[in-house]
Structure 1
């Protein structure tokens, strides 16, 4: 929201008083900018020579009058270099080998140049995300959320948007491989058939199937049939991002497994205990929409929701908090008990009172990284507030027969393999050789199995160690089904025939059931027919395909009662020694657990807070870095519980002291040409008993520097007051007086606007900054829509990335008078507020992309906008 900052005109640049503005706050994008380091001033010299001269005067002004010069510059967003044409990361279909002829009788729905849209679902982390896929002449080109689907409501996330590029990835597995020899599916069936026949006689003794958790009703039915066919066989499940703490906490609280879902649209007061519910919760897309709908500024709205966040690392949920407190994971565990009992801290007492006032419209939510005891305590608090059934509700489990802890399931498999009890291992999806806990030594145990088979989209680290690698189809190439976070049954239908020799999970499992040539369409259709209780299945099936889901199929809420009072959270490990560090593991916001590592769009996507691309780093707080004499990009050795890994340091404002955050998903060796050798693998020091955090980390500097390609303080927007903040009361007061903002002192365009005054249509876009959560979905959507090329880490480090849209991150700190004091810098960096500023293509009047384009692909139209002629690029 706008605010009446004082501005003066000098040298054709408007300057803002950064430290003595109306709210007394200073806005900055990096610690170098906050400290006015020599490196930052040198960078400013290169980009804005006149502005750099003003920065040179700051120290003189400060020493002269004991304060800070009013000629500070808000160095924000920079001149975009993303106005380039469509590039090489394309989704071009393969040219046909055969001779082609035009339609004799063209289908009436096929009109060249006019897209068709199909409703389907993408299965991410085992759950359905409803999408609408745009298709041109039989080739899918763009993905959007399905407005009718409860998990997406027409929106999407970065993974959904980037799934299109993954489907066309040339590094996907193309053929069946038998050890080092290219083979065929027929040869695999011939070799496996007598083995399966033998297992049928023995009841499946020595046979193990390892999958990721699944919510697919069809897959569930096949698993049931396999258990009946092979009663001595064992089915194991494993996910590196397992929500074991969530399941175990609910089981401890209610004495039975239940699924937990939330209604943020009903929550007035929210307390988050290490929960990044904008990114990590199964229903995060819907949750973000519900949360932000309560924050949209309207004339008739008198109240907004209030969010308190306690977190052990920087998240976009914490960035949106009204009150945020960084602390270690163990301290957060104790906060849960304090909220449930008698808090000793005055600030906690105020939160408890706020929760009590909100009553049934309050919500306390714990993240999946917190131990089960914290989740049980949150369930008890919500029950005491009366929130159960209102802001939080419970259903039967969505995933099929998932164990309380899938890591234990994997450990049992490892024990059996080490004991020689397994002679046939079928791994369906997943990549356990890469992402299993280091202490389980999964690879060593797996090598003791005489026949190992892996079905996956990529010939990855696990496939490399198997006798047979089998290519798997992408969601956009296959028939299937899955449930959404609330249980809604969703259909997966193909938009294109498999590009390579892939088979779906259902087709593979059907072979184990003795159904060799059964197509996936028939398998899924018959599975749905078996569950249908109506009279007209054909009409129901067509409507389901049209909508992408079964109407009214969400799981109904169930009544649950607390089984017992929650127990005190157990310590994560032995108490840390004085000065010791705690390690915090998190999924990467760009590539998740590593399965998206070969997606160039996601690798080049700046992470929401750090803006790092093409890498992960050991994230530490400024105070910890100062105490340990560490700097950005310094290569260190991380030692944890007898294991070590090398990583670069990245200093991040707002992290808790003495906590080091490591993002998972990097350090791949067989991801593909894009993902190989990028970053370091945090899995190398992650263990099964403490998968999310623990004490005892040691850091030793190696005395080397490592280049991190971060976009955080490049392209500095010099002297513009773009981040404007007001609290709701001040906004209401100014709104009533029609003082929402100051008019621009520069004309918005040099274009002659008189020609536009009588036009029926007016071009324009409004971005509600108050609603932006910094998730980056829009950045990937823009890249997918315009086929923007990927340039790689080296070019990003030089500022040559080509995004047409970016989301800048700004930090804001409270201190009106001592903006250049060292003590202030430490305090400002300890827990600054965070604001996100989307910066799209501005459709410049003199657009540099138009001038340099050699083929005239970029052009300016009569209405003042930049147009793209895609087939020229």
Structure 2
């Protein structure tokens, strides 16, 4: 979709058209299905409109703004001297660096606190490409869009480059000197005015430092907050078992999988592993039971839902109703029934799933959505126990997080202390709470009550602007650290390059608060592990841990988990009857906003919507028709007395009566690429309903907002790229897909036929296994340093991705 206005599509006529169709029909957009004049005109132009023109609107300044990090990646040869500490290459260790030959190093990237192991390719001390680590349990050799794009962030010239005090450039030594008397004063008060705010911590070394800090300042408080955190999962486990437990799944052992609003194949600490295990069971063989079966009930369209064999769109509040109905159908009569708003057809769907799960006791799994309330997680724990899945397809461990807690409650407590004026010093280690804290907490207002505010961040961002001290944070490829994977396995993270902008690590700033100035991250991490392993054999341990990318014997052991109390106490949520609901989700490409300045991720088409450079209010065709809305209409979303404008995006498969908005956009202070893009959904998000709620109202503004969407680009007119068959069709004739007629026929060409001799190379994609995660698209862009072109040029079909993932509806 480009800037040209499009007439609204008649949804009723489309439904009639589909009802009259026999067999499977595939289409890429509502406009294609309707066969509008505008779509046909676009389709029959061999080249997109204005493709032969280069508009004057893209000036030198705009070009450099978009290309800055890519140019740095392409041209940087040595912006810093390698650290003097020894780092260990993976697989091979040459005697010396050979120019032009890469060396692979094992390390990890952390997201949401959890580590995913990677191998980083380095040319002469310059990291250039990230791949998965086959030896790491969370990777198994795979990586995702965020790890692939991390190289661009490393070389981003918009990253914070200097320490500032009230906006003035200040040396690190000055910060150390000025913080020392402040800490001495807090020592006399036992730290009663000191607060530390971090993101989720699984790092054993960082956790040890935080605990040491609390011992030095007994009255201090350590808070954690992650805007895309897992409070519901933690509280669901405590509701079910009486204490915090972690859960992970053995997807390869499950014949039947039921996801209750979980995009487990594409996002989460174990998603890469789950995707690999899922794909291993999607290969048709000469037996009916070889392939798994995936059911998905979801409130927002996801890649996992698109991969499902059977999918049911539900409003967010109806997911709990489905969970309670499922529990009662498999014999958990103690689970209270909800006030039902599910239709008869939807209830029959859930009952059919219950029968399939019961037929596969011990070889099935039910996965709760990370954004569903604690009651849903507790019910699912009871369901998996009743089905005999615990210990088989479901594994329980002690928490991997260093200190599991309800993070929203922790942040609320911090805000209360700041408002009360009892916080004298606040150290914020990473994160951006001024931007992403729930709107009702008024974090910025409370923060301004704190006499001394210090922020360690990768960018000079919204939180930095409200802090007295801003300290540039080292990139994960620039510093030593450690972190745990979803199962507890530790990776010791080693740098591949000296900090390009003199960044400081979290370990180094905490060491200052511990009175240990001048200690490097390398020494802090190494000394921690020396204290754990002892002197005997430590050098061999250190070498092997760095070489392999994992610390052996650090995975959390599986444990038994018994339900605490009766499920009857898990009170149903009040049903949202005839109310418009809103669902908040992290953006699929820029996540919670931390990747907003990464051009590769901004221009990556988002799953299902194929939207770039923006977010939108995603709604079902029926919802849009009822409200008289067309794509790209600018509307005001009014939720709990707060109003935020969003453009409309109409998506088949979105549940009727629910609007999904992705947070992370609307940044005002991040860099030249990300500032000013999209709309800020955090302005509507509140601490009492962080993921969804009812009572949304929508008002037309009378304006329109152009969206750049790649869904209709490169249409395969007249061809049959989608070839469909059931497992029974395949078992009857494994060659059925090859027998379809090619359009155009092989001989219909202007070129003379060429006889190929010897090897012919090609690439095939197993669509039974592909989840549409787009990691291959970003990997190709990273490998070849493919440039971005910006929103306006994407609208003119000029995006330069060498790979694309087409999305078809049926």
TM-score for the superposition, normalised by structure 2: 0.89
**Does residue 330 in structure 1 map to residue 317 in structure 2?**
yes
**Does residue 173 in structure 1 map to residue 171 in structure 2?**
no
Among candidates 385, 389, 410, match of residue 387 of structure 1: 389
Consecutive unaligned residues of structure 1, counting only runs of 5 or more, are 1-17, 50-84, 100-105, 813-873
Contact 2:115 2:483 in 1 (8 A): yes
Classify 1:178/1:551 alpha carbon distance in 2 versus 1 (closer, same or farther; 3 Å). Answer: same
**Does residue 793 in structure 1 map to residue 794 in structure 2?**
no
What's 2:703 paired with? 704
Report the Cα offset of residue 689 of structure 1.
0.4
Classify 1:751/1:292 alpha carbon distance in 2 versus 1 (closer, same or farther; 3 Å). Answer: farther
What's 2:717 paired with? 718
Classify 1:199/1:751 alpha carbon distance in 2 versus 1 (closer, same or farther; 3 Å). Answer: farther
Report the Cα offset of residue 402 of structure 1.
2.2
Report the Cα offset of residue 314 of structure 1.
0.2
Please say which structure displays the higher CA radius of gyration.
1
Q: How does 1:395-474 map to 2 (within 5 A)?
A: 395-403=397-405, 405-474=406-475
Aligned-partner SS, 1:142:
strand
Q: Distance in 2 between matches of 1:747 and 1:376?
A: 61
What's 1:364 paired with? 366
Report the Cα offset of residue 299 of structure 1.
4.5
Q: Distance in 1 between matches of 2:467 and 2:75?
A: 31
Q: Distance in 1 between matches of 2:666 and 2:606?
A: 17
Q: Distance in 1 between matches of 2:675 and 2:219?
A: 39
Contact 1:93 1:139 in 2 (8 A): no
What's 2:564 paired with? 563
Classify 1:114/1:623 alpha carbon distance in 2 versus 1 (closer, same or farther; 3 Å). Answer: same
Aligned-partner SS, 2:809:
strand
Q: Distance in 1 between matches of 2:471 and 2:747?
A: 60
What's 2:612 paired with? 613
Q: Distance in 2 between matches of 1:646 and 1:40?
A: 28
Classify 1:157/1:98 alpha carbon distance in 2 versus 1 (closer, same or farther; 3 Å). Answer: closer
Aligned-partner SS, 1:769:
coil
Report the Cα offset of residue 720 of structure 1.
1.1
Report the Cα offset of residue 282 of structure 1.
1.8
Note the alpha carbon deviations across 1:452-503, whole angstroms, 9 max, x for none: 0000110000000000000010000000000001100111100000001211
Consecutive unaligned residues of structure 2, counting only runs of 5 or more, are 1-16, 49-66, 82-92, 331-343
**Does residue 670 in structure 1 map to residue 680 in structure 2?**
no
**Does residue 37 in structure 1 map to residue 40 in structure 2?**
no
TM-score for the superposition, normalised by structure 1: 0.83
Q: Distance in 2 between matches of 1:200 and 1:518?
A: 21
Contact 1:374 1:569 in 2 (8 A): no
What's 2:59 paired with? none
What's 1:346 paired with? 348
Contact 1:488 1:553 in 2 (8 A): yes
Classify 1:554/1:741 alpha carbon distance in 2 versus 1 (closer, same or farther; 3 Å). Answer: farther
Note the alpha carbon deviations across 1:595-641, whole angstroms, 9 max, x for none: 00000000000001000000000000000000000000000011100
Q: Distance in 1 between matches of 2:737 and 2:727?
A: 14
Q: Distance in 1 between matches of 2:69 and 2:533?
A: 47
Classify 1:472/1:690 alpha carbon distance in 2 versus 1 (closer, same or farther; 3 Å). Answer: same
Report the Cα offset of residue 748 of structure 1.
11
What's 1:500 paired with? 501
What's 1:811 paired with? 809
Classify 1:257/1:97 alpha carbon distance in 2 versus 1 (closer, same or farther; 3 Å). Answer: closer
Report the Cα offset of residue 38 of structure 1.
2.6
Classify 1:416/1:460 alpha carbon distance in 2 versus 1 (closer, same or farther; 3 Å). Answer: same
**Does residue 234 in structure 1 map to residue 221 in structure 2?**
yes
**Does residue 694 in structure 1 map to residue 696 in structure 2?**
no
What's 1:552 paired with? 553
Q: How does 1:642-657 map to 2 (within 5 A)?
A: 642-657=641-656
Aligned-partner SS, 1:42:
helix
Q: Distance in 2 between matches of 1:465 and 1:510?
A: 24
Q: How does 1:69-80 map to 2 (within 5 A)?
A: none
Aligned-partner SS, 2:360:
helix
Q: Distance in 2 between matches of 1:233 and 1:133?
A: 39
Classify 1:229/1:38 alpha carbon distance in 2 versus 1 (closer, same or farther; 3 Å). Answer: same
What's 1:211 paired with? 198
Note the alpha carbon deviations across 1:782-829, whole angstroms, 9 max, x for none: 0000000010000000110100001010111xxxxxxxxxxxxxxxxx
Q: Distance in 2 between matches of 1:328 and 1:787?
A: 41
Classify 1:42/1:98 alpha carbon distance in 2 versus 1 (closer, same or farther; 3 Å). Answer: closer
Classify 1:513/1:87 alpha carbon distance in 2 versus 1 (closer, same or farther; 3 Å). Answer: closer
Q: Distance in 2 between matches of 1:254 and 1:418?
A: 35
Aligned-partner SS, 1:771:
coil
Aligned-partner SS, 1:297:
coil
Classify 1:107/1:313 alpha carbon distance in 2 versus 1 (closer, same or farther; 3 Å). Answer: closer
Contact 1:337 1:568 in 2 (8 A): no
Note the alpha carbon deviations across 1:554-584, whole angstroms, 9 max, x for none: 11101110112325766667845x4x31000
Classify 1:574/1:394 alpha carbon distance in 2 versus 1 (closer, same or farther; 3 Å). Answer: closer
Contact 2:252 2:281 in 1 (8 A): yes
